[in-house]
Amino acid sequence: MSRLDSAIRRLQAQKAALEDAARRAAGIDGPALEFGLGNGRTYDHLRAILPGRRIVVFDRQVAAHPDCVPPDEDLYLGDLFETLPRALADLGHTAAIAHLDIGTGDKAGSMALVARAAPMIAGLLAHGAVVVSDQPIEGVPGLTPLPLPPGVDDGRIHMLQRV
């Protein structure tokens, strides 16, 4: 498979999982959390599929397209492990959806980052909240795997629910 084909499949899986998460979390009040703004594509898609829902974004710095920059009050800038405790104090256990796309480009480094961050992120989630992650999340108390949407291959993206 070419790198282009792989990127297309990754984006299709991400889109399907986010849309499935939006359906699953429709009855849960609370914000959506976007970890890794990047150029703002998924943030923009979350705005489209979650009209009226607050979307809180975490990233080290803003590098997004100007149309995809969240308002200051919905943006936690800086090191994730410094912003997560502030977010917990501000938001509590209220998030309905969390999307993690915080990969570093290095598979081992990305997995280690998500493994360290996932328990803290789980603390921000409301009961029934849905997590979509580009990296596997395992062994976090209170998070249980969900089936992937039809047509999405196992391991391409990961979905979990706060129980």
Strand blocks (E) in the chain = 32-35, 55-59, 75-77, 95-100, 125-133, 143-145, 158-162
- The tens digit of pLDDT for each residue in 2-28 reads 999 988 999 999 999 999 999 999 999
Summarize the confidence of residues 63-85 as an average pLDDT.
96
Quick one: pLDDT band at residue 30, thresholds 50, 70, 90?
very high
In this prediction, residue 107 carries a pLDDT of 84
For each of the domains in the chain, give its residue range(s) and CATH number, in order of start. Answer: 3-162 (3.40.50.150)
- pTM here is 0.95
Q: pLDDT > 90: what percent of the chain?
A: 92
The SS3 of residue 106 is coil
Residue 125 parent element (H or E) = strand 125-133
> What is the token pair recorded at 66?
């100007």
